[in-house]
Amino acid sequence: MRSRLFVKIYLTLIACLAAVAVASGIYWGAAFDDDEGPGWSQRRDRFLAEILPPDADIEETRRLIERVAEGLDADIALYAPDGSLIASGGDGPAPAYRDAEGEGWRKHRGGDAISARLADGRIVAARMDRPWVGGGASPLLYLALIAGVIAAAAYPVVRHMTRRLEALRDGVERFGAGTLSARAPVSGRDEVAAVARSFNAAADRIEKLIASHRSLLANASHELRSPVARLRMAVDMDGAGADEARRREIEDNLAEIDQIVEEILLASRLDHIERLERTERVDLLALTAEEGARHGVDVTGEPAEIMGDARLLTRLARNLMINALKHGGPPVTADVEASGGVVRLSVRDHGPGIPEAERERIFEPFYRPSGRSERAGGWGLGLSLVRQIAGHHGATVRVEPVEGGGSRFVVEFAAAAQ
């Protein structure tokens, strides 16, 4: 499952809080432990009861308290149930709590004091500095500890994310400055990586579109130059006396220019649409047969329906037939067949064929093979439009060699659901 950025931030926060909780527990346990847990109380009471039995000799009890006070560097006192002092050791008797419930650590002048009431009612009081406190705990130290733990725990993750965002920004800025080959580094599977992938995909498409448009404009200007030059020559010759052949030449050149402009506009529109504006069930055999009748191409096959734009599919079939008639050799035939959920449209000619090295390049706009004359022209936009239209229909197009000469263009569509 793809990791999300907010999950990372949330888990980072939880980890920081957990680290703060652990550090706080250690800190408070070391600095402010009041030692009043049930385990400590029970052990303390058992210890005092063992060393200070109620029937012990008074002199022995005093000597014991003095030795303990000297060993702990503390003031220790033993009081009778009525509050009278029985024995003490150290600099002076430690104060005892007079109330029956008063047990535990309390602050007194000269140090911290603790009182414990024995089972027979006597009170043991001790006054000393707790060595683990170190002179008292400062709240500022605790706040500094919290800030340090959060900063240490959050820095690696936050720095990692911001570094990737900086790299993404750098790639976007370089692309925006005109370096169309600039891309953002992609690492991880969160939203930052998704944005980087989306940017790279958009940059790839923009770069290809710009390169395609540059090539289109350059080749279109070259292709338009030929009919324009022929028109100029025909007009010049018209002054010497026009005849039917020259007028037909002018009309043909004008029709060629009109066709090139129309194909440029269609190619540009197909470049800028993500999906077809409308789709319907189309009988590919009927559509192909209608175009074949217009251009004198024999069409065979079986009825087969696909989903698509009828106008664009008509243009696809027309361009394949015109290409075969113009650049191949007669006879030109077309066939439609369906099998295994795939509908194939094949257009075959009996011309010289297409060399293997050029079977992909002929789908480029205005591709002209080397050695081809200006009069013969290039492939124009016909086959390029065929590939664009096929792509918008989820189809593939390829050219195959045929035994005995010629070429076969094959377009494969997904059959329409029944």
* Residue 114 scores a pLDDT above 80: no
Mean pLDDT, rounded, of the chain: 77
* Model confidence band, residue 240 (pLDDT cutoffs 50, 70, 90): low
Per-residue pLDDT, 334: 95
Percentage of the residues of the chain whose pLDDT score is greater than 90: 16
Closest to 393 measured CA to CA, from 323, 303, 313: 313
- Given the candidates 1.10.10, 1.20.1630, 3.40.50, 1.10.287, the CATH classification of the domain at 193-272 is 1.10.287
Fold of 275-418: Heat Shock Protein 90 (3.30.565)
- Write out the two tokens for 38: 């049930």
| Global confidence as pTM | 0.46
How far is the C-alpha of 13 from the C-alpha of 169, rounded, in Å? 26
Angstrom distances, CA of residue 18 to CA of 12, 156, 158, 159: 10, 16, 17, 20
For 96-115, what is the mean pLDDT?
52
Please state which of the ranges 26-35, 65-74, 83-92, 127-136 shows the lowest mean pLDDT.
127-136
Termini Cα distance of the chain = 36
- Given the candidates 3.90.930, 1.10.10, 3.30.450, 3.40.720, the CATH classification of the domain at 34-128 is 3.30.450
* Model confidence band, residue 100 (pLDDT cutoffs 50, 70, 90): very low
Percentage of the residues of the chain whose pLDDT score is greater than 70: 73
Per-residue pLDDT, 59: 84
* Residue 250 scores a pLDDT above 50: yes
- Write out the two tokens for 76: 């220790």
How far is the C-alpha of 178 from the C-alpha of 241, rounded, in Å? 55
Per-residue pLDDT, 69: 82
Angstrom distances, CA of residue 287 to CA of 75, 90, 389, 399: 111, 115, 15, 21
Per-residue pLDDT, 7: 64
CA dihedral 171, 177, 182, 188 (to 10 degrees): 10
Cβ atoms of residues 314 and 294 within 8 Å: no
Per-residue pLDDT, 134: 45
Of the ranges 153-167, 226-240, 363-377, which is most confident? 153-167
Q: Where in the chain are the domains?
A: 34-128, 193-272, 275-418
